[in-house]
Every structure is written in C-alpha cells, then in structure tokens.
Structure 1
Amino acid sequence: MSNKVIVVGGGLAGLSAAHTLLERGANVVLLDKQGCVHLFHPSNSTKATSGINGAGTATQNELGIPDSAKIFFEDTKRSARDLARDDLIKVLTGRSGDAVNWLQDKFGLDLSLVARLGGHSQPRTHRGGAQFPGMVITYAQMERLEDLAVSSPERVKIYKKARVSKLLYESGRVVGVEYERDGKKHQEHGAVILATGGYAADFTADSLLKKYRPELWDLPTTNGDHCTGDGQKLAMSIGAKGIDLEKVQVHPTGLVDPNEPEAKVKFLAAEALRGVGGLLLDNEGQRFADELGHRDYVTGRIWENGKYPIRLILNGQASKEIEWHCKHYVGRGLMKRFESGEALAKEMGLKPEVLKKTFDEYNAIAESKKDPFGKKFFPGGKFTLDDIFHVAIMTPVLHYTMGGLEINPQSQVLDTNGKPIPGLFAAGEVAGGVHGANRLGGSSLLGCVVFGRVSGDSASAYLLESIASQEKATGRLGAVAGHLLETRKPSEPATKEADSKSSEAKTESAPEPKGGEYTAEEVAKHNSKDDCWVIVDGQVLDVTDFLSEHPGGEKAILLYAGRDATEEFNMLHDPKVIPRYAPKAVIGKVKA
C-alpha cells in the first residue's frame, strides 16, 4: 500500500485534513470538484462571516474571558437538543481551543477579536480585524498547500475540476476513488477522506434536500451550486449510514438584494451583526424576537410574525464595531446607510415617533435586563434617532445541513450496522450528527478544522497499520513507520531544496503592466458580461473570461464592470492574489 491519502474536497475541512496528513508524514492527493486553472474553488468556508468558535483559547485568556470546553459543551448540547451526540460534541468542543491556537500559531492568522453569538453563554467566536474570517482562514491554508504542490510535488498533488464519481470498494474496505477530469476517467488508490460539504443547494434529480425536506425546496439558499450532497451519496452507495438527513438549518438572516429580491442564491448576513447589537424589526417597526436566540428560533419567529419586510438595524456603535462588514454589504448594494433615525423611519414608511418608541423601550429593557423575548445580553449601546444606522432587509435562507454520513469520534464513516468502513473518513458538513438538531453560529468553521484534523490523524494511523500489516514479513516496517511518525511543522517541506523552492513559490511580485494606458472613460465602455474590464490599484484588468470562474460568483465582479474596484477588492483580497492567480488579466494601467 502506498503512503498516500486521497482528500476529496478543497474547502476548509479538506485543507485542514491535508495539512494534518503532511504533519504526520503522509502524502496527499487532493481532488477538488470545482476550481479553475489556477485557483481552488474556496467552498462555503470562505463565506463564513462571523468567525470560528474556540473555548479556552490564547485570545480568550488574554481578554480574561472565563470560558472552558465544558461550558462550550453544555451550550452545544443545549442547541443540539434531543439529537445531541455527546461523543462527537466532546471532540468538537474539547479540541476547539487547540484548533484556534493551531490556526494562529501555524498560519499566522489574526483571530484577536471575540464575539458572543446566539446560543453562546460566553464570547468565543474569533475573528480578525478585517476581511471575512472564513476567507482568511481558508485562503491561508489553500495558499500554503498550493506552494507545497510546487515545492514538494512528490508529497502533494492537487487536481482541480476533478469530480469523484465512485469510491473503489474491495473486500470490505475503501481502496481509492474513480474521478472524471478533462473528459477522461482516472483512478487514485489509497485511503479516502470525504470533505465534500453539505446538500443545501441540492436541486438535482436525486436531491437529498427534496427527499428529506421537500417543504424547504423553494427557499433561497446561501450555498454554492457545488453543495449537492456528492460525498453522502457516494458513501451511502457502498453501505454507509446517513444520519439526521432531515435536519436542514434555515438561517434567519439572508440578505435581500433590492434589485433582485427573488434571487435563488443569497448572501448571508453575518450572525456577528446581531452579535454586536443589531436589532430585527418588522414592517411596523417592532421587535418580535430575541435577536441572539438560536437560528431555528429566530427563523420561526420571523415566519410566525409574518410582517414583512424584516429589517436588521445597526446603530452607530454596532456599525463601528463591525465596520468592515457594513462597508462590504453597502458596496454590494445589500445594505444602506442612514444618517438619522428620521431618514430610516421615512424609508420604512413610519412616523419617527414609532421608531423612537421602539428604541426607548429597547433601551429600558437593556438597562433592566428584563426582555419579554428572553434576551440576556445587550451589546451595542443605546438606540436613539440622533445616530447613524446601517440597515438591510432579511429573509430566511437554506444554510446548513446538520445531517450527513454517520461518523465516530475518530471521523471514521460507519456502515448501516454501526461499524467503521475501513479506509473511509469524513470531515466537515458531509458528516452528520455533530451538531444535532441545530448548529450554533461559529461552529461551522470549527467543525471543519477540528474534524479535518481528526480525520487526518485517523487516516494517518490507518495508513500506518495497513502498511505495517503488508510490510511486516519483509522487515521494512521500521523505515516505513519512521517516515509516517516523524513530526514536521504543518505544510513544511522535508528538505532544504524543497524549502528553497517553497520560498520561491511564495514570492509574488506585481505583474508587469501590459499593453498601453487607458483612461477611466475608456475602461467605462467595457461594462458588460461579454466585455468586462475593471480597475484595481491603478491596473486595468480584462476579467471577461474569468467571470464564470470567480469563486465569489460573476455578480461580485459585474457590480464593478467598467469601474474602479480597488476599495472592494482590497477589502476582500491579499495584494498577491492578482499576480498569483490572474496575471494574464492585467492588460495595462490607468492613464493619469
């Protein structure tokens, strides 16, 4: 048996598994269903906007937050309700602090801000000072793995646009995969880690969503079109057990684009917007729920109240605390800034006195800590008409599937008899049972990192056991075991030569301007889907051919077609993104 593990899925769970495998000395073949020529498709992980949970982290200790794995366990179990799997929750919460510390220590990430989201009794959702935390965390791992694929190709192979069509199952164990790429079928042999995500965008002919929750079929979704339950279907076809497949989470706050109110795919409003003090008001300007309640509770209250549109309202203090998110949403036309409560009341078709009454009542509730809806925490300061506000229209959206493949605490996929299927592991949203009936905000990224690392550990151990059984008779076990058990820093090349290559791979320079110079007026003429130019940091980019490949969707670029997109681009991307992934798009520079 070769010293190789196949990771199916290029999102955060798959990347965390890959880096852990490399730490343990195994080799990795990563198959990414999406992706383009130069870039991973970053999956739903990059869309996570609130942060990653962690209890007992270095950041919490520095801030004096008295959290622990035990408190986090109780919060998670309470949210999971009667479907709580204590064994999996212990892994999720018990390894949460180490997961956050690992991201900070090994990838140099800023996770210095901590917020309290709905259902949490302590502030434990970590994020940095800028950019979406899901994007920052995922891209850091993604770029490191891509560098390794260049510097150490004998250890890391990445195949993009590779759709796995079959698990190779022989003599009661998984021994590899069959996949399609460039119109041809290929095979890879080795243990398999599935990290393919959920099925909250499964509108296919054999849809798991329609089979288990047909009443939710018509709701909009926050998921990319790759979330079609591929891993669940592949594993169940060889006898794996599905669990809690009817548990589909509807998130209460999907952002409604005023220009496309019926769009099937919607952008998610970060739960952190409510975590910093945002209020939910109906069309009469009234509160109707505890804004920090569990997601299913808030969604249920929206439907029960039925007075649309529902608005999420942040005052000046809350807006300042989460300023980057507000700027991003305003830039996308999904949120509006109002300079006063009177202007907001006019937009809502209400008299200012109505809004003032709601604000005064809320301020009194926050001071007395006695809320008719049961709210216990009141961040964000007072609401007054004499303030600025950031406001967006909300709607419930399909968001997360708690159901999936049944796994044990070692991330082994179980069969219908409850026995592990040798050679098959699962991590992230493809695995069911981790979150029970309702997932807490901030635990999606956590589940990816924790169980990505667990699956990497378990697959490495399985690999060692398999090789040991085959090599025992030849006397080669010592060398093989030594290779697999040696500890390296995550994603670090094994030789000085490889290290040198890695350094070269990481050195990015701005692309040399090509073509001539273009005035802003000339760029403005190229403003359609078939002819799209944008300006970024004084460079002119022709992104027409890149629209369909853009991980954030073509709409995110078309909003700036023919315009200067520098501010929005720099909010979301590292400066080296263009030279690394799209150097050919640069066609010149802006004429002074």
Structure 2
Amino acid sequence: MAQVIVVGGGLAGLSAAHTLLERGANVLLLDKQPFMGGNSTKATSGINGAGTQTQQEQGIPDNAKIFFEDTKKSARELARDDLIQVLTGRSGDAVNWLQDKFGLDLSKVARLGGHSQPRTHRGGAQFPGMVITYAQMERLEDLSVSIPDRVKIIKKARVTKLLTDPTTHAVIGVEYVHNSKTLNAYGPVILATGGYAADFSPTSLLKQFRPEYYELPTTNGDHCTGDGQKMAMAIGASAIDLEKVQVHPTGLVDPTEPEAKVKFLAAEALRGVGGLLLDNEGQRFVDELQHRDFVTGKIWENGKYPIRLILNGQASSEIEWHCKHYVGRGLMKRFESGEALAKEMGLKPEVLKKTFDTYNAGVRAKKDPFGKKFFSSGEWSMNDYFNVALMTPVLHYTMGGLEIDAASRVISKSTGAPVAGLFAAGEVAGGVHGANRLGGSSLLGCVVFGRVSGDEAAAYLLQQTGKMVEKAAGRLGVIGGHLEGSAAPANAEAKEEKKEEKAASGGVNEYSLDDVKKHNKKDDIWVVVNGQVLDVTSFLPDHPGGEKAILLYAGRDATEEFNMLHDPKVIPRYAPDSVIGNVKK
C-alpha cells in the first residue's frame, strides 16, 4: 500500500495529513512525542488570514496584497517573494478551511505588531493554537480507527534517518526507533518536525549559528532540537538563514522561578488589545505594537529591569481567558487600583498617573511619542483594575531552516534542484518569514505549507509507478508500506475507545477534597476535574503542557483551569487510566 510519511504531529504535520487524505493518498504519521500537537498548541495570539469570510463580515478592508506588503516589510532583506506570495495568497483560504472543515470558531480578529489591518483570527473562550491543533488531531485519530488502512499514527517514534535510493538519490522512506526497535518505513516524506529554539544538544544548531542566544530562556518544548533540519542536511539538503532566530520580547517570568530555562509566552494579543510595557521607573519606552525584534531590542537598550506588561480593565476584559490562565499559573497578578500597582513597583502614585495621562493625551491627539499608530479605545485611569506580569526576552521561533521552493519541496545543496520525494512544512522550513516573523503567522505557515506539502506529496506519489515503489522497498527488504507492527496504532486506538466507555461510566470510589489534598507531591499527585478524582502521577512526564501545569494544582480542584484549555473528552481519550473515582457530594 503506497503512502506518504509525515514526520511530526504538530499543526503543520496534521494539516499535511488531512490534505493528503483529501487528495486520496494514504498517511503514516510518526511523532516522537507521546502526544501530538507540538509547539502549535502553545500559540496564544491566533492565526493570520487576509480576505477571510470573517473579515468580510466585519467590514475589514484587508486582502492578500496588503498582507504581502506587511510580511515583506517584516522579512526585510531576506524576503522571498515566492514564499511570501504562497503564505499570504493562501491565508484567507487556510482560515476558511479551518472554519468549514473543522467547525472552528475564528470570529474574533485582532491587529498585532507589524500588521496594517486586523487579521489575526481567534475564537471566544479558548486558546487558538490549542483549539485549532486539537480539532485536527482528534479528527485524524478518529480516522486512524475508522479507516486504519489509510491512516496510521505511531507515537513515541523517533525518526533518525532519511532513506534514499542509491541510484537516483530520491528520498524513499525513513528509519525510526519505536519501542526500542529500529524500523524502516517507505514512501515520500514530509518533514514537519519544528524548529531548533530548544536545541541545547552537543550538535546544537543554535549554538553553532547564534551562540550569543544560547543562554537565553526559551518558550519551546524540549522536542524542538532541529531533528528534521539535521537529517535532511545529512543527505545533502540545503539550509538557509539558520542564524535568523527570533527572540520574542515578552516571555513571562515566574516570580518563584525567575531563572527557569523554559518560559511561558505572553501572547502578543495582550499588547494587541492595548497592554503597555513599562520599565522599573514606570515609563514607556517603545511602541508596543512594533515588530518583535524591534521591541526586544528596545528592552535590551533601555535596560531598566524588571519590565512589566500592564493591562487595564478594558484590555483585561477583552482577553479575559488569557489573564485568568496566567493568574492561575502564578505568572500574572491582579491589582485593584493604580495606587496598589504603584506600591508594588516601588513608585509614587503620581509617577504612574503621569505615565497614564501622557499616554491618554497621545491617544487623543493620535501622536504617540514612540510612534504608535493603532490604539485601543478607552482611557487609562488610576481608578481601574490591572493585570500585570514581569517580562523577559525569550527564544521563540527559528526563521531559518531547510530551503524549500513554493511547492514545499526541499532543495538540494549541490544541484539547487528539489530533492525528489522530500517536502517540508512549518518551522522546519526556512525562508518563509525572512529576517523576522510577524505574530500570527506561525500557525498560518503550518496550515498553508502543510496543505501545500500535502498537495505536492500526493501528486508526487501518484507519479510513481507501483513497480518503482515495490522495487525500492524490495531492495531494502520490505514491500513499501507494509510496516512491522502496522496494526498496532489502530489496535491502540481501539483500546482507548474501550477505555473511554469505561471511564464514562464513572468510578466506584469516592473521595473527599480532604483526601485529595493529601496527594500533593510530584511522586503522588491527585487533582480534581469536573467532579472526577484523577491520579496523574504516572501521566506527569507525558503532559503536553509540562509538569508544572499539573503541579500547580496538586491536591486541588483544577476544573476552572482545565476547562479554559481543554474539551471534556480529553481525559477519556488521552488519560482514561488516571480516573480513580469521584468527589464525595
């Protein structure tokens, strides 16, 4: 059975997989994580789209040409018109596809830094990256159960090598490790393995190309180690712009762990709705909606730490779910007045009031001293409440990566022509964003180039005759597509379905909240979610959001935080064995 191999289960890989299925191709998805999703689930601002149905309904005069110019300006001297044309030209269709195919709510549109029009789409109550990625992930997992002959998903499968035909040098498959066994799979390959902004390994691309950034904290999961780039370069693929690493200006500093290597990102949407950046003297020092690298540079240039991101009541209400989430994690603090905030900052109230008054005057005159052009409505007052967080620049996104053409085909370093059978989508691909990526374009790049790579890989697969595929596979001892243990994923999913039914029936045990409170250590941790008691001790290392997200609620009721981020079926689907009973009524 001929297939396309997708390496990586983030949004780019998922978009590629769904597109392949739409084009009639079969899919094998290999992901080295225990759960799919990758960094895509962390994206908190939204997904860009120009000329979308949502924009049209709201009377926003945006189009692909305007978006192209904004992106080209941000990309600066490294702008690749061909790739930007694909990214922006297919952006509206990508957003509409997500809404139509997956029933997603993307009805809110914001303007982020560097954008001349509001075009960053998100929904109402939940975080867009997680919502968009989970919708695709759950649909694909359901398909792996209902049509296992067409969709196979293997998790905890670490791809270690690209296999090539010794004569044509075309990519014909991958070598991967699963359950301590080294296996081969055959077919054209789409790499969707992400970036290298957490590459602190001995072969670190980060240390090689941006050593001055090596000690900075990162927002990336520890799986972002440049695997796809390194494997492709090992067979002669070209890489470009590897020195272009984006440092995001607003990483959240946890007051209890200020030196933590991994930081949670403060969504750019927080500044998009009107948040201000103030230094330790209570002064603004930058247009908060400038490009990310510009704001980062001004933070370093100003040097008056700590830097605080401050949202007034109106801004907080516009992005309430984010604020609640950050406050729940201990990363943001609420103050009930300007006087209380000034006291926290060690300032006299009149200093903070002057900053607010100066900003209000600039808004009224549409003449900001730092060049800000777009303002949120409403004035800043000391008689308001504020949500406040400490900020630090953080490693966030790698613009460099594998060189691709407009068809997502990876380019050979020696010939300058596409490497047959090899495609790349998402952060693993370089050149799409040039020298600096616009906020909201990471999810977009995943969806657009995921779909492009799916289209092109399906077409490539159709061009190969069955004899050629079987001959290549036979030369290496396996008939293409017939994998050792290939039924395992479907069987695993079937077992999960049974577990769902079992979990849905409810546990027989009942526990009081006092019982739950006793289990509040890393090696013995219970939480309550929607009236169910969960023993998440063994699940802790596999949690996609990291251990800390659960440890914050050890021995406590985590319902509000859980429901902010997850659909109720997440527990029966992904952690049914953790349910040990119900809370006593």
Asked if TM exceeds 0.5, the reply is: yes
In the alignment, is the contact (CA less than 8 A) between 1:508 and 1:580 conserved in 2?
no
Tell me which residue corresponds to 1:536: 529
Question: Which of the residues 129, 138, 157 maps onto 2:133?
Answer: 138
Tell me which residue corresponds to 2:326: 329
Shift of 1:469: 8.6
Tell me which residue corresponds to 1:8: 7
Tell me which residue corresponds to 1:88: 83
Q: 1:439 to 1:317 in 2, by over 3 A?
A: same
Tell me which residue corresponds to 1:419: 417
Question: Which of the residues 579, 586, 591 maps onto 2:572?
Answer: 579
For 2:449 and 2:182, locate their aligned partners in 1 and report how far apart those are by CA, in whole Å.
Answer: 30
Q: 1:164 and 2:163 equivalent?
A: no
What does the per-residue CA deviation read over 1:402-457, in whole Å, with 9 as the maximum and x for residues that have no partner? 00000000000001132100000000000000000000000000000000000000
SS of corresponding position for 1:280: strand
Question: Which of the residues 390, 393, 399 maps onto 2:387?
Answer: 390
What does the per-residue CA deviation read over 1:549-574, in whole Å, with 9 as the maximum and x for residues that have no partner? 00001110010000001111111110
Tell me which residue corresponds to 1:523: 516
In the alignment, is the contact (CA less than 8 A) between 1:85 and 1:436 conserved in 2?
yes
In the alignment, is the contact (CA less than 8 A) between 1:249 and 1:399 conserved in 2?
yes
User: Percent identity among equivalent residues?
Assistant: 79
SS of corresponding position for 1:545: coil
Tell me which residue corresponds to 2:16: 17
Q: 1:42 and 2:37 equivalent?
A: yes
For 2:501 and 2:44, locate their aligned partners in 1 and report how far apart those are by CA, in whole Å.
Answer: 27
Q: 1:257 and 2:254 equivalent?
A: yes
Q: 1:275 to 1:323 in 2, by over 3 A?
A: same
Structure 1 counterpart of 2:563, one-letter code: N
Q: 1:367 and 2:364 equivalent?
A: yes
In the alignment, is the contact (CA less than 8 A) between 1:289 and 1:373 conserved in 2?
yes
Tell me which residue corresponds to 1:431: 429
In the alignment, is the contact (CA less than 8 A) between 2:54 and 2:107 conserved in 1?
yes
SS of corresponding position for 1:327: helix
SS of corresponding position for 1:179: strand
For 2:160 and 2:395, locate their aligned partners in 1 and report how far apart those are by CA, in whole Å.
Answer: 26
In the alignment, is the contact (CA less than 8 A) between 2:500 and 2:572 conserved in 1?
no
In the alignment, is the contact (CA less than 8 A) between 2:36 and 2:137 conserved in 1?
no
In the alignment, is the contact (CA less than 8 A) between 1:18 and 1:28 conserved in 2?
yes
Structure 2 counterpart of 1:458, one-letter code: E
In the alignment, is the contact (CA less than 8 A) between 1:402 and 1:436 conserved in 2?
yes
Structure 2 counterpart of 1:137, one-letter code: I
Structure 2 counterpart of 1:519, one-letter code: S
Write the mapping of 1:47-86 to structure 2, written as runs, cut at 5 A.
Answer: 47-86=42-81
What does the per-residue CA deviation read over 1:46-81, in whole Å, with 9 as the maximum and x for residues that have no partner? 000000000000000000000000000000000000
Q: 1:395 to 1:451 in 2, by over 3 A?
A: same
Q: 1:353 to 1:570 in 2, by over 3 A?
A: same
Q: 1:520 to 1:507 in 2, by over 3 A?
A: closer
What does the per-residue CA deviation read over 1:335-357, in whole Å, with 9 as the maximum and x for residues that have no partner? 01110000000000000000000
For 1:60 and 1:514, locate their aligned partners in 2 and report how far apart those are by CA, in whole Å.
Answer: 47
Q: 1:548 to 1:66 in 2, by over 3 A?
A: same
Tell me which residue corresponds to 2:303: 306
For 2:76 and 2:380, locate their aligned partners in 1 and report how far apart those are by CA, in whole Å.
Answer: 34
In the alignment, is the contact (CA less than 8 A) between 2:109 and 2:121 conserved in 1?
yes
SS of corresponding position for 2:106: coil
For 2:179 and 2:573, locate their aligned partners in 1 and report how far apart those are by CA, in whole Å.
Answer: 23
Write the mapping of 1:462-501 to structure 2, written as runs, cut at 5 A.
Answer: 462-467=460-465
Tell me which residue corresponds to 1:558: 551
Q: 1:361 to 1:398 in 2, by over 3 A?
A: same
For 2:317 and 2:352, locate their aligned partners in 1 and report how far apart those are by CA, in whole Å.
Answer: 21
Structure 2 counterpart of 1:547, one-letter code: L
For 1:182 and 1:121, locate their aligned partners in 2 and report how far apart those are by CA, in whole Å.
Answer: 50
Q: 1:559 to 1:203 in 2, by over 3 A?
A: same
For 1:235 and 1:506, locate their aligned partners in 2 and report how far apart those are by CA, in whole Å.
Answer: 39
In the alignment, is the contact (CA less than 8 A) between 2:42 and 2:129 conserved in 1?
yes
Q: 1:393 to 1:508 in 2, by over 3 A?
A: farther
For 2:546 and 2:81, locate their aligned partners in 1 and report how far apart those are by CA, in whole Å.
Answer: 38
For 2:314 and 2:503, locate their aligned partners in 1 and report how far apart those are by CA, in whole Å.
Answer: 38
Tell me which residue corresponds to 2:32: 33
In the alignment, is the contact (CA less than 8 A) between 2:102 and 2:136 conserved in 1?
yes
SS of corresponding position for 2:465: helix
For 1:41 and 1:327, locate their aligned partners in 2 and report how far apart those are by CA, in whole Å.
Answer: 25
Write the mapping of 1:420-459 to structure 2, written as runs, cut at 5 A.
Answer: 420-459=418-457
For 1:253 and 1:184, locate their aligned partners in 2 and report how far apart those are by CA, in whole Å.
Answer: 42
For 2:248 and 2:352, locate their aligned partners in 1 and report how far apart those are by CA, in whole Å.
Answer: 26
In the alignment, is the contact (CA less than 8 A) between 2:500 and 2:576 conserved in 1?
no
Shift of 1:515: 4.3
Q: 1:115 and 2:110 equivalent?
A: yes
Shift of 1:507: 8.7
Q: Normalising to structure 1: TM-score of the pair?
A: 0.92
Shift of 1:584: 1.2
Q: Normalising to structure 2: TM-score of the pair?
A: 0.93
In the alignment, is the contact (CA less than 8 A) between 1:57 and 1:101 conserved in 2?
yes
What does the per-residue CA deviation read over 1:86-124, in whole Å, with 9 as the maximum and x for residues that have no partner? 000000000000000000000000000000000000000
For 1:347 and 1:508, locate their aligned partners in 2 and report how far apart those are by CA, in whole Å.
Answer: 51
Q: 1:197 and 2:194 equivalent?
A: yes
Q: 1:401 and 2:398 equivalent?
A: yes
For 1:527 and 1:505, locate their aligned partners in 2 and report how far apart those are by CA, in whole Å.
Answer: 30
Q: Which segments of 5 or more consecutive residues in structure 1 lack a partner in the other structure?
A: 472-500
Shift of 1:172: 1.5
Question: Which of the residues 373, 377, 380 maps onto 1:376?
Answer: 373
For 2:581 and 2:501, locate their aligned partners in 1 and report how far apart those are by CA, in whole Å.
Answer: 19
Shift of 1:519: 0.9
Tell me which residue corresponds to 2:212: 215
Structure 2 counterpart of 1:42, one-letter code: G
SS of corresponding position for 2:378: coil
In the alignment, is the contact (CA less than 8 A) between 1:221 and 1:264 conserved in 2?
yes
What does the per-residue CA deviation read over 1:475-510, in whole Å, with 9 as the maximum and x for residues that have no partner? xxxxxxxxxxxxxxxxxxxxxxxxxx9xx8999785
SS of corresponding position for 2:251: strand
What does the per-residue CA deviation read over 1:318-341, in whole Å, with 9 as the maximum and x for residues that have no partner? 000000100000000000111000
SS of corresponding position for 1:296: helix
Tell me which residue corresponds to 2:232: 235
CA RMSD of aligned residues (A): 1.4
In the alignment, is the contact (CA less than 8 A) between 1:127 and 1:133 conserved in 2?
yes
Shift of 1:381: 2.0
Q: 1:145 to 1:186 in 2, by over 3 A?
A: same
Shift of 1:537: 1.0
